[in-house]
């Protein structure tokens, strides 16, 4: 007992000297969806919400930061949902962050350690990984929010041009991580989606009722996927380089590889080897128009314990988002193209799909931190697996949403 009192006494000056910050978002929505059962509910629908209308707590997010009087800070992000599909509350991120002071030559070191997202998203830049542009994320960022997170360590080196009278900055970062071995399973079995939900760290995700998952080659697959599971004790990596022009925009390129051992399966959870390259740009255009464009291309592979390819998919997705903000108004439009290519010969397990998506979103600021936002989403996709459940292979799904969003 005395030992713990001594430890607390030693660190109490650090705790008291720290600056504590609390920020959050409360997002209440009325929505109407014209489609089929949501992928969140084990269906093959592309949207987060089930068909017909509902009122929901789409997101209650809290971000808590402890910032010490040094380059180190601690961050915890929690989210809660009450949406009639999967009501839950839990942690989505928790990490230590280091941001050093620049040296005389303009170099600066930074890093993160903990439960983190790979630094890919250009949309989800607001509190609790929300987006200030649209209510629903692009297909790329919907997948990141669902499956692509992990326990990892990241280190970055910035070159700051202002130390050399230049507007050009450069960043090189490397990340090493674990707890991501099943990444790719949901992209394979329900495809690209348009969502506004991040998987909580403790959650598992239901797989759709497909014939291939009920016997045969895939009969031993668990009925739910655990997206943040460590199975093979191997370390994945993500590298990225970024160029920024101060006041105008940036361009970045990265490569992600979870380095999973596809021979490993434990209690119905398979290790998926998932790799992709991503390219993105964010640019300020004339007339106060913001341009965001991202492209992702990769593949994911799952094998049987004896080494046969069971699921072998290539995938790609791209979007362009234009957003114009004036006075208390913001108007955003996003256009997407996506596909999954099924390269394996597993019977009755066609994961292929292709499609396009469109989003138009308008928000108005009532007062500081409080916005009302209306949005229309449309996805036109071709997915043969839907025929196994009695739905059309070629399907148009639409969604209308009206939200009250409060940031504090």
Each residue's pLDDT tens digit, 316-371 = 999 999 999 999 999 999 999 999 999 999 888 999 999 999 999 999 999 999 99
Question: Would you say residue 13 has pLDDT above 80?
Answer: no
Residue 217 phi, psi (nearest 5): -60, -35
Is 12 a member of any domain? no
Is 188 a member of any domain? yes
Question: What is the pTM for the complete model shown?
Answer: 0.94
Question: Residue 324 in contact with residue 201, Cβ under 8 Å?
Answer: no
Question: Would you say residue 4 has pLDDT above 80?
Answer: no
Is 7 a member of any domain? no
Q: Chain centroid to CA 131: how far? A: 11
pLDDT value for 218: 82
Structure-block tokens of residue 40: 């969140």
Residues, the chain: 408
Segment 84-140, tens digit of pLDDT: 888 999 999 999 999 999 999 999 999 999 999 999 999 999 999 999 999 999 999
- Percent pLDDT > 90 in the chain is 88
Structure-block tokens of residue 318: 């791209």
Burial 352-372 (b: 16+ CB within 10 A, else e): bbbbebebebebebeeeeebe
Is 74 a member of any domain? yes
Strand partners, 193: none
C-alpha 248/C-alpha 167 separation (Å) is: 10
pLDDT value for 16: 57
pLDDT value for 365: 98
Question: Residue 181 in contact with residue 264, Cβ under 8 Å?
Answer: yes
Range of the domain at 319: 21-407
Is 9 a member of any domain? no
Cβ atoms within 10 A of the Cβ of 131, count?
Answer: 20
Average pLDDT of the residues of the chain:
94
Is 16 a member of any domain? no
Is 4 a member of any domain? no
Q: What CATH number is given to the structural domain containing 131?
A: 2.40.160.10
Segment 391-401, tens digit of pLDDT: 999 999 999 99
Segment 184-240, tens digit of pLDDT: 999 999 999 999 999 999 999 999 998 888 877 787 899 999 999 999 999 999 999
Structure-block tokens of residue 165: 């009278």
Question: Would you say residue 15 has pLDDT above 60?
Answer: no
pLDDT band for position 144 (50/70/90)?
very high
Count of domains forming the chain: 1
Question: Would you say residue 11 has pLDDT above 90?
Answer: no
Element (H, E) at 313: strand 309-326
pLDDT value for 5: 46
pLDDT value for 246: 92
Q: Cβ neighbours of residue 85 under 8 Å, at least 6 residues apart?
A: 38, 40, 41, 48, 49, 50
Question: Residue 100 in contact with residue 149, Cβ under 8 Å?
Answer: no
Is 10 a member of any domain? no
pLDDT value for 219: 76
Strand partners, 382: 354, 394
Question: Would you say residue 45 has pLDDT above 50?
Answer: yes
pLDDT value for 324: 98
């Amino acid at each position: 007992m005395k030992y713990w009192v001594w430890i607390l006494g030693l660190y109490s000056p650090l705790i008291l000297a720290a600056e504590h910050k609390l920020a959050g978002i409360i997002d209440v929505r009325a929505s109407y969806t014209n489609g089929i059962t949501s992928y969140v509910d084990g269906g093959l629908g592309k949207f987060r919400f089930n068909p017909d209308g509902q009122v929901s707590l789409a997101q209650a997010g809290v971000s808590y930061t402890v910032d010490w009087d040094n380059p180190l800070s601690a961050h915890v992000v929690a989210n809660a949902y009450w949406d009639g599909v999967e009501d839950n509350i839990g942690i989505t991120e928790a990490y230590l962050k280091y941001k050093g002071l620049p040296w005389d030559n303009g170099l600066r070191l930074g890093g993160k350690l903990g439960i983190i997202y790979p630094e890919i998203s250009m949309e989800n830049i607001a509190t609790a990984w929300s987006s200030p542009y649209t209510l629903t994320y692009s297909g790329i960022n919907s997948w990141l929010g669902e499956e692509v997170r992990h326990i990892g360590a990241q280190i970055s080196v910035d070159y700051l041009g202002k130390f050399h009278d230049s507007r050009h900055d450069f960043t090189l970062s490397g990340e090493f991580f674990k707890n991501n071995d099943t990444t790719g399973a949901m992209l394979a079995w329900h495809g690209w989606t348009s969502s506004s939900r991040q998987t909580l760290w403790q959650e598992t995700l239901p797989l759709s009722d497909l014939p291939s998952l009920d016997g045969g080659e895939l009969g031993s697959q668990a009925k739910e996927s655990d997206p943040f599971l460590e199975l093979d004790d191997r370390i994945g990596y993500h590298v990225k380089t970024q160029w920024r022009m101060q006041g105008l925009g940036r361009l970045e390129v990265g490569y992600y590889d979870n380095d999973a051992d596809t021979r490993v399966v434990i209690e119905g959870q398979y290790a998926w080897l998932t790799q992709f390259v991503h390219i993105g740009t964010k640019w300020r255009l004339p007339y106060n128009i913001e341009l965001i464009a991202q492209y992702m291309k990769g593949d994911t592979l799952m094998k049987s314990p004896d080494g046969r390819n069971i699921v072998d998919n290539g995938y790609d997705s791209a979007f362009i988002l234009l957003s114009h903000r004036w006075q208390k108004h913001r108007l955003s439009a996003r256009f997407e193209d996506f596909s999954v290519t099924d390269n394996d010969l597993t019977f009755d397990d066609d994961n292929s799909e292709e499609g396009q998506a469109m989003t138009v979103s308008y928000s108005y600021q009532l007062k500081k931190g409080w916005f009302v936002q209306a949005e229309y989403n449309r996805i036109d996709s071709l997915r043969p697996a839907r025929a196994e459940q009695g739905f059309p292979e070629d399907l148009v799904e639409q969604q209308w949403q009206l939200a009250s969003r409060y940031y504090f």
